[in-house]
A and B are shown apart, each in its own frame.
Chain A
Amino acid sequence: MSVPVVQLSGIKKSFGPVDVLKGVDLVAHAGRVTALVGDNGAGKSTLIKGLSGVQPYDEGQVLFEGQPVELNSPRQASALGIEVVYQDLALCENLDIVQNMFLGREEISQTTLDEASMEYQAALALQSLSVKTVKSVRQKVSSLSGGQRQTVAIARSVLRAAKLVILDEPTAALGVAQTEQVLQLVRRLADQGYAVIMISHNLADVFKVADDIAVLYLGNMVAQLKTSETNHNEVIGYITGISQQVKA
């Protein structure tokens, strides 16, 4: 298989006396959705915060496209092409879709905001993800549904030329139809060559969309499985700690 977009090995992180991550390995490939599952407190968020540069790891190696890298700030992570879509989405409801997608990196020409160029690129990014449900790219975010907001947040990471997109519980607050839409979007994201890591509590979603399933249990990566070679019961076994897999 090709060089993974990101490869973590021996990642450790502790908060005072509490070891949250105890030597975690994780691989994410371009074009594949890697689901990160595990019970509350297993260390999923801590692992993601390290990848996004918000809370640097204590120990361990991060290879990005085969090169060892340092992830000490969100800016560094973003410069490499790592984008995180948090659960609360971080959108400004009073701004429209285009304004949100370019927030903090507005384009300037002739000394003023280049609205036309930004509008075109935003529409193109949404189109590339086959988004059809928004009425206009100039709609205010306050008028969008939960699924549409998730879509805008994901499209924003695409616009930022990401290579690795990390989604934190993208379907947590959504209804059935919208969950379906967002899962399709996640699939398309991977099909377009992005590496996707998706945190989820919902195994049905995971089995629907993920290529690989990584299971964290109390700070250890107990399994990284191909979806096609496993089943619900096996994954639940790892999540709850009933099954243990010896790490390679």
Chain B
Amino acid sequence: MSELTLKTGQEGTTAEQFRAYLSRLRAGDMGALPAVGALLVLVALFGSLSPYFLSLINFANLFVQAATLMMMAAALVFVILIGEIDLSAGVTAGTGMAIFVKLQIGGMNWILALALAFVLALATGWVIGTFVARIGVPSFVVSLAFYLAFPGVMLWILGDGGVLRLEVPEVSAIMNKNLPAWGGWVLLALCVVVTTLMGLWDRARRTKAKLPNRPIVFLFIKVAGLIVLGGATVALLNMNRSQSVIPGNEIMGVPLVIPFALVILFIATFTLDRTRFGRHLFAVGGNPEAARRAGIKVARIRITAFMVCSVLAMISGVFNVSRIGNVESAAGKSIVLSAVAAAVVGGVSLFGGRGRLAHAAIGAFVIAIIDNGLGLIGMSAGVNFVVTGSVLLIAATIDALARKRSGGSIART
């Protein structure tokens, strides 16, 4: 085999790689930086305005509050990447949870009842996807129809009271119980091991293909960053955050929802980045006609994307019902729009084909912190909505300007 003379973007010393990164930034390819920047600014702002914001209990609370939104944002990323939208993701989750709680109260085994909720998710995703991909109805309209219809279904299920209590301790535990202290450290160790192994695996494959690798110091930096940030988070969450001074009333440990969310986000990211389905999803979002000519079954990819979206949304619904402890007939109506905002703040393009799941997760944190922080400094819900809307507009504008600079076209075919 002959030597490669073409560049692959991974050769060069650490300094050269760093300069290349800076020039990408200048060219408008900012990735998650705007969202991370917004995150830091908001933390500093609310931290200085409210003594309570940086307290241990609120720190843990933020993770729990953000988890539901983060999962919904992850769900929407799958459809936004193909240039579609699913407004009904929230109410689908709400309806699924209504079915779950109703059946469980009626005496059904809770695991079976929960499984039925996920069957509903798969079916709803398939129906929406089929209307969009096979019949050609715009996804905005199809999902709007479900958005209007499902609250009605919830009303039938929930009856006159309109509210049903969750009585499954296993599900309540997700949002209300914590890992023991050692569990948090094991979780962090697992994250470090997986990150390191995947980094080394990629390097080994490149070496085997006789391709240059980035200086290994970049992997060290990544793992070191994970250890420092993750270690600090686990250490803080493992401290007693209870306001009570009575012995035995301590609250400590990593909230149980965190390992759940991490595993699901890992699987979803892995699917998007490392599987054929993920690649085809991006291709369909970028240029459906090119994807079709390359032999990709475009309709099937679209339908699958809607099904994945509904399933992830249902997980978000489980998180929600676990936190709130009940289901009511308007469940999931407002979260979808916040989740779209989270994705856009995280740099996921509504035109399709561009964006990363992890960035949408950071976007979800931004939206969750605005909600949490404004509440703590005593602002009304009205202010909260206005600020959230403004942040969304700013994020979308940054995205549009960055795209203009990088010379990419926003035209869809």
Point out residues on A near B: beta carbons under 8 Å.
74-75, 86, 88-95, 99, 103-106, 108-109, 112-117, 119-120, 123-124, 126-127, 131-132, 134-140, 142-143
* Given A92-B286, A94-B285, A103-B291: A126 in contact with B354 (beta carbons within 8 A): no
Q: Does B58 contact A (CB under 8 A)?
A: no
How far, in whole Å, are A124 and B5 apart by their CA atoms in the complex?
9
* Given A95-B282, A116-B209: A123 in contact with B290 (beta carbons within 8 A): no
* Given A94-B353, A127-B4, A137-B7: A113 in contact with B406 (beta carbons within 8 A): no
Q: Does B106 contact A (CB under 8 A)?
A: no
Q: B286, A138: Cβ atoms under 8 Å? A: no
Q: A137, B283: Cβ atoms under 8 Å? A: no
CB-defined contacts of A139 to chain B, threshold 8 Å: 9
Q: A138, B8: Cβ atoms under 8 Å? A: yes
Shortest Cβ distance from B276 into A: residue: A106
Interface residues of B in 263-304 (CB under 8 A from A): 270, 274-276, 279-280, 282-283, 285-287, 289-291, 293-296
How far, in whole Å, are A22 and B160 apart by their CA atoms in the complex?
75
Q: B279, A91: Cβ atoms under 8 Å? A: no
Q: Does B211 contact A (CB under 8 A)?
A: yes
Q: B409, A116: Cβ atoms under 8 Å? A: no
Q: How far is the CB of B301 from chain A (nearest CB, A)?
A: 11
Q: A94, B205: Cβ atoms under 8 Å? A: no
Q: B6, A94: Cβ atoms under 8 Å? A: no
Q: Which of A117, A131, A138 is within 8 Å of B209, CB to CB?
A: A117
Q: B8, A93: Cβ atoms under 8 Å? A: no
* Given A131-B6, A137-B8: A94 in contact with B294 (beta carbons within 8 A): no
Total A-B contacts with CB atoms under 8 angstroms apart: 118
How far, in whole Å, are A148 and B51 apart by their CA atoms in the complex?
57
CB-defined contacts of B8 to chain A, threshold 8 Å: 119, 123, 136-138
A selection of 18 A-B contacts at a CB cut-off of 8 Å is A92-B286, A93-B409, A94-B287, A95-B279, A95-B282, A95-B286, A99-B279, A103-B294, A104-B291, A105-B295, A108-B276, A119-B8, A119-B206, A119-B211, A120-B211, A127-B5, A136-B7, A138-B8
CB-defined contacts of A94 to chain B, threshold 8 Å: 282, 285-287, 353-354, 408
Interface residues of B in 235-250 (CB under 8 A from A): none
Q: Does B382 contact A (CB under 8 A)?
A: no
CB-defined contacts of B276 to chain A, threshold 8 Å: 106, 108, 113
Q: A116, B406: Cβ atoms under 8 Å? A: no
Q: Does B222 contact A (CB under 8 A)?
A: no
* Given A112-B274, A116-B209, A123-B4: A142 in contact with B406 (beta carbons within 8 A): yes
Q: Does B407 contact A (CB under 8 A)?
A: yes
How far, in whole Å, are A94 and B82 apart by their CA atoms in the complex?
12
Shortest Cβ distance from A106 into B: residue: B276
CB-defined contacts of A114 to chain B, threshold 8 Å: 205
CB-defined contacts of B9 to chain A, threshold 8 Å: 136-139
How far, in whole Å, are A93 and B10 apart by their CA atoms in the complex?
21
Q: A142, B409: Cβ atoms under 8 Å? A: yes
CB-defined contacts of B291 to chain A, threshold 8 Å: 92, 103-104
Starting from the known contacts A124-B1, A138-B9, 11 additional A-B residue pairs (CB-CB under 8 Å) come to A91-B290, A94-B286, A104-B280, A104-B291, A105-B295, A112-B270, A127-B4, A127-B5, A136-B8, A137-B8, A143-B408
